[in-house]
């Protein structure tokens, strides 16, 4: 989701498809304004990413902002007491 950094209003909502980039239409971005790229819900098996705050340059030149999902990793350690020791 794309959020206006000042008003906190949602500007653009999208669903990320695996291996495909998300292209935000230029008509929703105003040169000189700041925005927040926010992930509502990560794909299954992935950790939720931190928000990315960015500004659109005053010239309106296209930029690339990357939000990379990281796989969730869970480590389990089994603990068994030795016979007679607690």
CA distance 49 to 83: 44
Most confident of 25-29, 43-47, 68-72, 78-82: 25-29
Beta carbons of 3 and 11 less than 8 angstroms apart: yes
Q: Kindly report, residue by residue over 39-64, the tens digit of the pLDDT.
A: 888 777 777 888 999 998 888 776 77
Separation of alpha carbons 46 and 70, rounded Å: 6
Report pTM.
0.70
């Amino acid at each position: 989701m794309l959020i206006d950094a000042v008003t906190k209003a949602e500007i653009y909502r999208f669903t990320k498809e695996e291996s495909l980039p998300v292209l935000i239409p230029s008509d929703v971005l105003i040169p000189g304004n700041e925005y927040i790229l926010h992930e509502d819900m990560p794909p299954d098996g992935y950790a939720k990413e931190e928000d990315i705050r960015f500004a659109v340059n005053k010239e309106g030149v296209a930029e690339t902002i990357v939000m990379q999902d990281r796989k969730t990793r869970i480590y389990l350690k089994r603990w068994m007491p030795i016979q007679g020791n607690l």
